Amino acid sequence: MDGCVGRSEELKYLEDVYEKVPVACAICGRRHLGKTTLLRTFCSDKQHIYLTGVPGLKSDNIEEMCRNISRFAGRDVHFDDIMDLFPALKNLCGKKRVVVIIDRYSDLVYNFPEFNSYLRTFMNRELPSTKMMLIVCDNDSSIFGRFYYTLDLKPMTYIECKGFHPDYTPMEHLTAYSIVGGTPAYQRLFVGKPEDVVRDQFFDHMSVYSLEVESLVAAETEVSSACVKVLSAMASGVQNVRDIADRADISASYCSKMLEDMEHKGLVQKEVSSGMSRRAVYTIGSNIIRFFYEVVYRYTHHVEFESPADSFELAKDDISAFVERGFKSVCMDYVTHKYEYSFIGKLRKKDDSSDSIIDFVASVNANEVRRIMTARCRLLGEPFSRKDLDELMDRSRKIEGTNKMFVLFSGTGFDHDLTEYAKGNVNVLLVSLDDVYRG
């Protein structure tokens, strides 16, 4: 699939900034989120120069820049020192309206530490006399401090990811999103029936997705062996620092530091919770890493020594359970997209375990009235019945507040009695998987 899927708000933001030339803008987002594709789409109808840092030699960076500038100029442009880059750009662009992109900024600064100073001087003194839109792009948001206009690129929502697979059913969309998340590069690779993709691209230790997970963990952490222990412990179900440290056999202080670093890099996330527990609760933040450690990692010996196809068959129940958990996460996203909300999170007990009936609680604005929403989600199994609703209502009594609404999310539907009851009760909302994917 060519072109940029979704990202309409991001493109509009860049167009708005473009109208303010001369101007500088920073874009950041971890790798594979589609920064380059976004910029390619934005620049498709504009004069532009694309420059990128490379992790090789200083001379490699200079040669790469000279090639791209020469391509734009239609003639040979050459310089030997990085300090000559901005004078060359100003001389070449003159008063023409040009978008100049400097990608992979960290690689450039690694080779040329003085480039930070050159950039700051150019932005303050030279840029205002041009018609240039300067865009600096990197994985690290620390560059934002130098720019007034910034764009922090995030993973795409489950609704936006529908654009990658126009022929998928809602269940197939959910499966793809649960496993690889909102990272555009992973969605583009997810080609074919989900079952075939999972079998061929995960349950083979030399497959694309498996190698990507290993690469992510190794690239984003200084001590990858300890990181694997922490991720494995979290995949087994433990979620607070003390229990993760015990399971991973590392000190609690070291575990806390690792979790903080992994949270900053997007590998784990600190969950907001509601209930009796107030301790920090951590979960694996990346869908693809979570799937690898919660499912594929359990069958490592089968995958590497026996048959990947047989391993996939053995793991089918675990895969279904994983997608079921993914459905609950998507249902939470559905609420945040559909309602104004001040809080949404899981209800937890003293031991940090999740409530078995209430999957999440939210404080929402429904028709300009603040309401407490309690929700129960079921993707597979029997349709929801009145008994299920009664259990939800009964369990919700422990939650403070009187203006409550009860929501059942189902992938298998609702029985007749429940459907009829909900028609006459404004406090009960039944939401199907099709409803969730209609947005």
Query: Are the folds of 160-324 and 329-438 the same?
Result: no
- Give residue 54's identity as a one-letter amino acid code: V
pLDDT value, residue 239: 86
Give which of 105, 92, 108 is closest to 49, Cα–Cα.
Answer: 92
**Could you tell me which of 297, 286, 427 has the C-alpha nearest to residue 364?**
427
Number of other residues whose CB lies within 10 A of the CB of residue 351: 9
Question: What Cα–Cα distance (Å) separates residue 216 from each residue in 79, 212, 276?
Answer: 36, 6, 35
Q: Please name the amino acid found at residue 295.
A: V
Q: How confident is the model at residue 401 (pLDDT cuts 50, 70, 90)?
A: confident
- Residue 350: its pLDDT value, please? 67
Q: Does 367 or 300 have the greater pLDDT score?
A: 367
CATH 3.40.50.300 fits 8-152, yes or no: yes
170 token code pair: 């809602």
Q: What is the pLDDT of residue 141?
A: 79
Torsion angle defined by CA atoms of residues 249, 251, 253 and 254, in that order, rounded to the nearest 10 degrees: -60
Residue-level pLDDT at 118: 93
Mean pLDDT of 289-307: 81
What is the reported pTM? 0.85
- Give pLDDT, residue 404: 94
Q: Are 171 and 158 in contact (CB under 8 A)?
A: no
CA distance 34 to 31: 8
Nearest-CA neighbor of 203 among 315, 122, 118? 315
Range 283-293 average pLDDT = 90
What per-residue confidence (pLDDT) applies to 351?
A: 64
* Backbone dihedral angles phi then psi of residue 281, each to the nearest 5 degrees: -120, 130
> Would you place residue 303 in the very low, low, confident or very high pLDDT band (cuts 50, 70, 90)?
low
Q: In the predicted model, what is the mean pLDDT of the chain?
A: 89
Would you say 331 and 345 are in contact if contact means Cβ atoms under 8 Å apart? no
Q: What integer pLDDT is reported at residue 105 of this predicted model?
A: 92
Q: Which residues pair with 343 in a beta bridge?
A: 363
Q: For residue 143, what pLDDT is reported?
A: 77
Please report, rounded to a whole number, the percentage of residues in the chain having pLDDT higher than 90: 65
Max mean pLDDT among 110-114, 262-266, 302-306, 342-346 falls in 110-114
Provide the CATH number for the domain formed by 160-324 in this structure: 1.10.10.10
Q: What whole-number percentage of the chain has pLDDT above 70?
A: 93
Going by pLDDT thresholds of 50, 70 and 90, the confidence category of residue 50 is: very high
Characterise 110 by phi-psi region: left (phi > 0), alpha (psi -120 to 50), beta (else). Answer: alpha
Work out the angle at residue 222's Cα, subtended by the Cα atoms of residues 221 and 223, and round it to the nearest 5 degrees: 95
CATH code of 329-438, in short, is: 3.40.1350.10
Tokens found for residue 403: 């203006």
The DSSP 8-state label assigned to residue 87 in this structure reads H
Q: Mind listing the pLDDT tens digit for each residue in 84-108?
A: 999 999 999 888 999 999 999 988 9
Per residue in 151-183, pLDDT tens? 999 999 999 999 999 999 999 999 999 999 999
Q: Is the pLDDT of residue 3 over 70?
A: no
Taking alpha carbons only, the member of 180, 184, 137, 176 closest to residue 156 is 184
> pLDDT band at residue 317, thresholds of 50, 70 and 90?
very high
Parallel/antiparallel/unpaired status of strands 281-284 and 268-271:
antiparallel
Alpha carbons 30 and 266: distance in angstroms, whole number? 8
Kindly report, residue by residue over 352-397, the tens digit of the pLDDT: 667 789 999 999 998 888 999 999 999 999 999 999 999 999 999 9
Domain boundaries, the chain: 8-152, 160-324, 329-438
What's the one-letter identity of residue 289? I
Of 143-147, 216-220, 240-244, the one with minimum mean pLDDT is 216-220
